Amino acid sequence: MANSYDYDVIVLGGGPGGYTAAIRAAQLGLKTALVEKENLGGVCLNWGCIPSKTLIRNAEIVHILGRGHEFGFHFDNLTLDYSVAVKRSRQNADRLVKGVGFLMKKNKIDVIQGTGALTDPHTVQVEGKVYSTGHFILATGARASLLPGITVDGERVLTYRQAIVQDKLPASIVVVGAGPIGMEFAYVYNAYGVKVTVVEMLPHILPNEDEEVAEVVAKAFRKQGVRLLDNTRTESVTVTATGVQIALKNVTSGDAETVEADQVLIAIGVRPNSEGIGLEAAGVTTDRGRVPVNSVMRTNVPHIYAIGDLTGKLALAHVASAQGIVAAETIAGAETLPIDDYSNMPRCTYCTPQVASLGMTEAQAKAQGYEVNTGKFPFQANGKALGLGEREGFIKIISDARYGEILGIHMVGPEVTELLPEISLARMMELTPAEIARNVHAHPTLSEVIMEAAHAAMGHSLNM
């Protein structure tokens, strides 16, 4: 690396992608700095993945307590303190953020606190100070998308950022958007007794997931008391003296309805943080706010790389981390594994029942001209699931009938987010359902459902 610059690599943004990229760059001998305007760990550690999973765990326990008759216990004096759940979530987030700070020191990465903006292709200005570098890795993440004309006030109108830290729950809430963020918050709120309505403009909840999977989640949520309105557009949100009024319209029928609630949570996705970071000054091109990159995360400016939500690929922490490693290794000239196909990336939703998937749906595979074999196995026939009292859902494997290539997997049920890595690894190593079926799975475990689905894909299901 050239010695005329202050650093070999400067990473702009300290979220999962940014701090992972900085660590990998430092490991490879590059003099590295990381610029962060707020908190190390970014949205994921501070306002998203980690605190939300803590709240979900609390909600799961509350949900199980409500099923006491199934397990042979009962009580009359149960009290729920949601503020304790929020406090626990903040403690877990703070613990991991401190851990990231330790990793920065361990790897001798300079952390520059403040808002950074590129002033030319090799220079960034942070709070009035200027730093130069041979390479940039842009990892500025994303923020919540909003509906036109809606202002977030943190009291009546929320995004995930405000919702994750409020320690007093409303009596009622409307969640606009039935993707992972919306469904996870809906699950938590409902478990704690909030009257929840979920509104989704597309034909089914979890619109990026297999429709059969979405149907299982929808049935479970309705059974839990959540009102789901799919195929419904949010026309307007009006703040009143006592709460909010949400005007809705059915996309197909045109029927209109107004729903009143104490709060509304806008969870319709995220938009990249590409403004104000000096992309124009550095000559980096954008496409509708996203920064296009190639398979090794290089932008149109050869020494400037972009990763994570900023690229508009998949707004997931583990995708950002994987991209960050590829970018750092490319800069260092180390062997790496370029990312060409993002359909291989695992996708997870942590409500109950959980959802996990990767690859194509059956409909997508057929649309691309594949002749497919589909293997499906339900959790209600699995001994471990019955023991847990979690029998909802199934695992479905989709494979190419000609070569046996696994094209996709779609899972809904207990702890399926923990089962996904077996298929992710199988896809990476180009394994087939035949090899998964022959791989001995311990009994009784939830993982046996993957084995059974693989047998079913081969046409010889054993336990169905």
Q: Once rounded to an integer, what is the mean pLDDT over residues 361-385?
A: 94
Concerning whether 443 is annotated as a catalytic residue, the answer is yes
At 1 the pLDDT is: 47
How do residues 99-127 score in pLDDT, each as one tens digit?
999 999 999 999 999 999 999 999 999 99
Q: Which of 189, 159, 161 is nearest to 177 (CA)?
A: 159
Cα 232 to Cα 311: distance, rounded to the nearest angstrom = 29
Tokens 């046409």, residue located: 459
At 75 the pLDDT is: 85
How do residues 125-162 score in pLDDT, each as one tens digit?
999 999 999 999 999 999 999 999 899 999 999 999 99
How do residues 62-100 score in pLDDT, each as one tens digit?
999 999 899 999 888 889 999 999 999 999 999 999 999
Token duo for residue 407? 């094209």
- Which of 204, 303, 318, 443 is the catalytic position? 443
What is the β-pairing status of strands 172-176 and 263-266?
A: parallel
pTM, to two decimals: 0.95
Q: Which domains does the chain have, with CATH numbers?
A: 7-143+271-332 (3.50.50.60), 157-268 (3.50.50.60), 353-457 (3.30.390.30)
Q: How many Cβ atoms are within 10 Å of 43's Cβ, its own excluded? A: 25
